[in-house]
Structure 1
Amino acid sequence: MSTLLGEQVDIKDLYRFAIDGHLTLSINFLNDTPVRKVSLIRAEDIRYKTITPKHKNFSKNMRVNVPVGVRYQISKEYWIKDESKDWYKVKGVYDLAMVGAEQYEISQLLYPESEVKIPIISGFYVKNGDQIYKLQALHKPSVSHDQQAPVQSKNGVEGDEDDSAHISLKPRVLQQAVSASSLWDHEYELVIKTGEVTRFIQSLEDEPIPSSQDEKSLSPRERGTLLTIIGAFCNHMDIDPLDKGSTSPIEKMLELNGTPMKFDTIKRHLDQVPDAVERRRK
């Protein structure tokens, strides 16, 4: 990666690539980890029905749009369509789905000096192929009266409250799987699959390089002028073109403008800005 990008790539760069969706991080669960199977649906694909709330505090003319066929929302982009009632344990390497709170925890690794707020409702998700799993944490609930079962007395007759001398209560306490509050609820290590590294490098190599014929329409003077204008814009926005962290914000701006561009394409042009500005000043 360092060779292809022309600069040193460190761990934080990998976190940034993962958050921006360019690289898939995986998680290696070192021990058995409880999960539930879930299916997702994008927010734009949800169907709604209009209902009239039947409550005295609401107006009779009030109408409310209610989502149909979904369980609950985990982000602006995704809802849980279905979730299995039963949980089971997995172990080994799974990809981070990056659809819930897992992206926030990666951001915390990227910016350890700041406190990243993680939405509680989101949950943490991993995937294996097309199957998505929601991470769970195991807890033993406290023993309640309903969970207490009488034990037969010495003469073989089931006891009651009057037979207190011959009765002991045996609690039935079952482990409950609840939504994990953090990736750190489990023993794991973050990894990148070899195949994913190969795919990422291939995506960089596949970026088309403008041919000499394409460049004929833009003279060196015109190209230098455009790069100088970009440099002035960067200076006004307090953006350092050579800072690796500057590429992602510009990529986001291009997406919002409806003119998306690949990360390394933006980086390649930004790298040319300082030289163009320096030549212009001479």
Structure 2
Amino acid sequence: MSKLFKLKKWLTIPETKKYLTQLFGEKVTEADIFKLALDGHLVLSVYFVNGAMARQGILNDCLPSECIDDIDHYTEKYPFLKHLSLPHFNNMCKLFRPNDLDQTDALSLYLQNTITEASLGLGKGVVTIYGVFDLPLFGAERLDVEHRYQMLTGGPDVTTQCLDGAFVFKGDVIYQLQESFENNEYFPGSKADGENLENQIISEKINNADAEKLREQFKAIRAAFLRARDARAAFLRARDAWPSISHYPAGGLPDDAAFVVRTESLRKLQDRLTKDDLPDKSEKPLTTRPRNTLLTIINALCEYSNIDIKSRGAAAQIAKLTQELGADISEETILKYLKEIPDAVETRMK
């Protein structure tokens, strides 16, 4: 693990691809990263470069940790699971246990069908969020990830829609992303609709007289848009409902949002792989003689490659070779073994 990696809080998708290729010891594609996220093996995040509008909330009620023995297994993959009420959780258990369904698929299906606006406790106002947020993958954001995966693998277009909107979270706080009616070019009378009209006038070189007629028609549509907005505001205030009159749940992630992966998530993935790949306890550790043999072989290969193991730049030269091989080893580690070579060779020559 490089020093730079330790300092970074998140990686881009190309950087993650390179890291996982080294970790797995085999080629990893960008499509593999999105599939790992969809299957619950990796937490995918998104970086709002220019910010995003959202309603803030938190899942109502807490799930007692004693209600199931392996609760940590589920909450690790689905952080929001610990906030579900006990009745909801019991329903989820009934969903997959009697039928022996795959736990990951069952949980995903459950979350997609039970997390609603009421259970999220969303606030009435709209805030602007910046930075990196994680994707729970139970709303429209999952469709965006699925779409990216299908595009990278030459699959079909994702035509499914999610009316509940797209979600992101940070810690225990969840956000439902919002879009502005004014920025929706397909909403008659919006500012974006008016900007499209002006662009049309310019691109089609419409004469001044006809252009003024189009602008007058838009003014009437704009006035109707504003009247409808005010009527909706009065309706919502009378019922003490969500007072926002200019936003609605986003159909997906913003176009200027970038997919990223937190280094913390990659470390957790590496830890799980390490535990799964632990050697058999009956396997004997490398003894002194085989170790000296290997060090002697390394020395012979270095001499053949004209690498002086005693020179100052030997470790850096070998480190570069490991990078080209795709199995990056730090200079510090290499230097430690280079220092052991003379004694090993001397032992073998006796």
Q: Percent identity?
A: 24
Between the aligned partners of 1:77 and 1:145, the Cα distance in structure 2 is: 32
Match of 1:11 among 30, 43, 62: 30
In the TM superposition, residue 3 of structure 1 has moved relative to its aligned partner by: 3.6
2:247 partner SS = strand
> What's the counterpart of residue 201 of structure 1?
270
Question: Residues 109-144 of structure 1: CA distance to partner in whole angstroms, max 9, x if unpaired?
Answer: 111231223333231110111101000001236121
Between the aligned partners of 2:125 and 2:174, the Cα distance in structure 1 is: 15
Question: Residues 16-55 of structure 1: CA distance to partner in whole angstroms, max 9, x if unpaired?
Answer: 11001111111111113110013336587349xxxxxxxx
The 3 A distance-change label for structure 1 pair 145 and 15 is: closer
Q: Please state if 1:182 is matched with 2:219.
A: no
Between the aligned partners of 1:212 and 1:197, the Cα distance in structure 2 is: 26
The structure carrying a bigger helix percent of its residues is 2
> What's the counterpart of residue 123 of structure 1?
165
Between the aligned partners of 1:192 and 1:143, the Cα distance in structure 2 is: 41
Native 8 Å contact 2:229 2:246 kept in 1: no
> What's the counterpart of residue 124 of structure 2?
85
Match of 1:211 among 272, 277, 280: 280
Q: Which amino acid aligns with 2:133?
A: Y
Q: Please state if 1:23 is matched with 2:60.
A: no
1:30 partner SS = strand
Between the aligned partners of 2:23 and 2:51, the Cα distance in structure 1 is: 38
Between the aligned partners of 2:127 and 2:226, the Cα distance in structure 1 is: 23
> What's the counterpart of residue 94 of structure 1?
133
The size of the alignment, in residue pairs, is 164
Q: Please state if 1:107 is matched with 2:107.
A: no
Match of 1:38 among 34, 54, 57: 57
The 3 A distance-change label for structure 1 pair 92 and 26 is: same
> What's the counterpart of residue 174 of structure 2?
132
Question: Residues 67-118 of structure 1: CA distance to partner in whole angstroms, max 9, x if unpaired?
Answer: xxxxxx9822433312211111111111112121212211111112312233
Q: Which amino acid aligns with 1:94?
A: F
Between the aligned partners of 2:266 and 2:49, the Cα distance in structure 1 is: 22
Between the aligned partners of 1:103 and 1:145, the Cα distance in structure 2 is: 32
Q: Please state if 1:76 is matched with 2:145.
A: no
The 3 A distance-change label for structure 1 pair 121 and 146 is: closer
CA RMSD after TM alignment: 3.1
Structure 2 residue runs of 5 or longer lacking an equivalent are 1-19, 60-82, 90-109, 183-189, 191-224, 232-243, 284-350
> What's the counterpart of residue 76 of structure 2?
none
2:27 partner SS = coil
The 3 A distance-change label for structure 1 pair 147 and 102 is: closer
Q: Which amino acid aligns with 2:43?
A: T
In the TM superposition, residue 6 of structure 1 has moved relative to its aligned partner by: 3.3
Structure 1 residue runs of 5 or longer lacking an equivalent are 48-72, 149-173, 215-282
TM-score with structure 2 setting the length: 0.42
In the TM superposition, residue 200 of structure 1 has moved relative to its aligned partner by: 1.5
Q: Which amino acid aligns with 1:14?
A: I
TM-score with structure 1 setting the length: 0.51
Q: Which amino acid aligns with 2:113?
A: K
Native 8 Å contact 1:105 1:118 kept in 2: no
In the TM superposition, residue 206 of structure 1 has moved relative to its aligned partner by: 1.7
In the TM superposition, residue 186 of structure 1 has moved relative to its aligned partner by: 4.3
> What's the counterpart of residue 143 of structure 1?
226
In the TM superposition, residue 213 of structure 1 has moved relative to its aligned partner by: 5.3
Native 8 Å contact 1:42 1:79 kept in 2: no
The structure carrying a bigger strand percent of its residues is 1
